[in-house]
């Protein structure tokens, strides 16, 4: 007779505990004046953006709480998506010089800010040409809330600008200073350096090919080279082949002469890392690693090209960007090599190098590359670090 009530009590306790967990979430919302958060990104002539607008303000403006119970549900918001988009976008005008850049809604989401839930409106637009300056007119909610503000973050080639729209400052101009040719060149160079440093797959491919440079494979095992000179020239051969090869395909792809599907490119890059690492454990192309560097360098070039296109290529200075980015990649590569070579040469006779790095390290690289390859072929997510 005792059991049943006890179970019920536990259930009640669990429910109470759940309620207690939920309660602070509900009441911890801040009271603050009304703001909307507007992020706009201008890339060439294309405009894209995200606009976070408080549900509470939208409720006041167009009415969301259809059943009038004081709670706004996702269903109620969804039913008003078209109204939200037309209400909001009618109150935001982006112009480039004398021509408008019409905006259209592309997605509706939800986000939490310190004072409650916000409708997230994503949008896109197109200007007639890449603008030198954007004139933005913001008119959301000023008609019924004189303290409302629109907090803008504008990202463009010129960097990040911010602005605050208020009832008495509803129209503002943002100069998107075009960078000088030198600034653009340096900027793309910088991106190139960072890309090679952060693109672990390129670094691992290169390192796998360079690890044996201070060794020779004799009598079924790796032995150290006596002289620095052969090691140095081996490195030069590998790096130069890799550079020439990826420069060729990077240029061809960036100039849109040839194109390969990115999944194929990415998977093959992973495959190249796997092969290069396995070759250190059981050498197949021992003396001709520069050929391998060249062959796969061609594929890595396509990978670089996709990054370059992601950065938004300036139409008027495509060549400049291309050369800058490529030189940046080479510079980044040179730094890695100049750190690697003296260290490797110094350590080449140690067991750490020959066992630990050549075998253990290569095995680890091969394993990571295998996982990347599977991920990229089958579009999975196994490890998150890339």
Partner 1 sequence: MRLTRFPMLFLCFGAFSVWAAPYIPRDDAVVLDRLPIKASDPAGRELRRLRAELLADPRNVETAIRLARLYFDLASAEGDPRYIGYAEAVLRPWTALPDPPGEIVLVRALLRQYRHDFIAAMADLERVLGKDPGNVEAISWQVALHRVQADYTKAREACQRLAATATPLATIACNAAIDSINGKSREAHNLLSAALAHYRAKSIEYQQWVLVRLGEMALRYGDKSLAEKHFKDAIATGYTDGFVLAAYADLLLDANRPAEVMALLSNRESSDVLLLRLALAAHALKSPDAEKHIRALADRFSAAAMRGDRLHLQEEARFELTLRKNPARAVKLAAEDWMVQREPRDARFLMEAALAAGDAAAAQPALAWMDKTGYEDPLYRELASALRKIGQ
The residue ranges that bind partner 1 (CB under 8 A) are: 23-24, 26-35, 37, 39, 50, 52, 55-56, 59-60, 65, 68-75, 77-78, 109-117, 120, 142-149, 151, 153, 164, 195, 198-201, 262, 266, 269, 303-304, 306-307, 310, 386
Q: Between 56 and 177, whose beta carbon lies closer to partner 1?
A: 56
Closest contact distance (angstroms) between CB of 300 and partner 1 is 9
Nearest residue to 136 via CA among 80, 94, 88 = 94
Q: Between 325 and 345, whose beta carbon lies closer to partner 1?
A: 325
Q: Between 73 and 256, whose beta carbon lies closer to partner 1?
A: 73
Instruction: Say how many C-beta atoms besides its own lie within 10 A of residue 30's C-beta.
Output: 8
Closest contact distance (angstroms) between CB of 113 and partner 1 is 6
Q: Between 150 and 212, whose beta carbon lies closer to partner 1?
A: 150
Q: Between 155 and 286, whose beta carbon lies closer to partner 1?
A: 155
Nearest residue to 161 via CA among 41, 266, 257, 62 = 41
Where residue 14 falls (left for φ over 0; alpha for ψ -120 to 50; beta otherwise) is alpha
Closest contact distance (angstroms) between CB of 73 and partner 1 is 5
Nearest residue to 51 via CA among 80, 79, 91, 78 = 91
- Beta-carbon contacts of 156 under 8 Å, excluding residues fewer than 6 positions away, are 41, 42, 43, 176
Closest contact distance (angstroms) between CB of 351 and partner 1 is 34
| DSSP codes joined into one string, 321-368 | HHHHHHHHHHHHHHHHHHHHHHHHHHHTTSHIIIIIIIIIIHHHHHHH
Q: Between 306 and 349, whose beta carbon lies closer to partner 1?
A: 306
- Rounded CA separation 300/245 (Å): 8
Closest contact distance (angstroms) between CB of 386 and partner 1 is 5
Nearest residue to 76 via CA among 34, 117, 36 = 117
Closest contact distance (angstroms) between CB of 74 and partner 1 is 4
């Amino acid at each position: 007779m005792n059991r049943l009530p006890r179970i019920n009590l536990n259930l009640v306790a669990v429910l109470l505990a759940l309620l207690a967990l939920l309660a602070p979430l509900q009441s911890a919302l801040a009271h603050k004046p009304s703001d909307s958060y507007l992020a706009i990104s201008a890339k060439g002539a294309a405009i894209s953006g995200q606009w976070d607008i408080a549900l509470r303000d939208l409720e006041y403006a167009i009415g969301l709480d259809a059943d009038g119970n004081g709670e706004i549900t996702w269903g109620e918001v969804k039913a008003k998506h078209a109204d939200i988009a037309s209400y909001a976008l009618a109150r935001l005008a982006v112009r480039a010089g004398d021509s408008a850049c019409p905006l259209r809604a592309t997605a509706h989401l939800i986000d939490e800010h310190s004072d409650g839930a916000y409708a997230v409106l994503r949008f896109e637009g197109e200007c007639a040409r890449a603008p030198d300056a954007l004139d933005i007119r913001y008119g959301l909610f000023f008609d019924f809330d004189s303290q409302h503000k629109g907090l803008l973050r504008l990202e463009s080639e010129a960097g990040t600008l911010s602005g605050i729209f208020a009832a008495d400052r509803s129209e503002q101009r943002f100069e998107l200073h075009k960078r000088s040719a030198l600034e653009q060149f340096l900027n793309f160079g910088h991106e190139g350096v960072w890309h090679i440093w952060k693109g672990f797959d390129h670094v691992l491919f290169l390192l796998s090919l360079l690890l044996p440079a201070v060794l020779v494979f004799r009598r079924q095992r790796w032995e150290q080279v006596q002289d620095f000179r052969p090691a140095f020239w081996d490195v030069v051969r590998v790096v130069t082949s890799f550079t020439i090869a990826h420069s060729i395909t990077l240029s061809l792809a960036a100039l849109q002469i040839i194109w390969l599907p990115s999944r194929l490119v990415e998977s093959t890059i992973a495959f190249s890392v796997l092969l290069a690492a396995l070759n250190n454990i059981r050498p197949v192309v021992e003396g001709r690693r520069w050929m391998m560097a060249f062959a796969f360098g061609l594929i890595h070039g396509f990978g670089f090209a996709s990054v370059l296109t992601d950065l938004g290529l300036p139409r008027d200075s495509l060549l400049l960007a291309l050369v800058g980015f490529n030189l940046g990649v080479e510079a980044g590569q040179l730094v890695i090599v100049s750190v690697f070579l003296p260290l490797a040469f110094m350590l080449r006779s140690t067991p750490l190098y020959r066992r630990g790095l050549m075998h253990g390290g290569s095995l680890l690289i091969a394993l990571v590359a295998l996982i990347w390859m599977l991920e990229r072929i089958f579009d999975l997510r196994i490890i998150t670090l890339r």
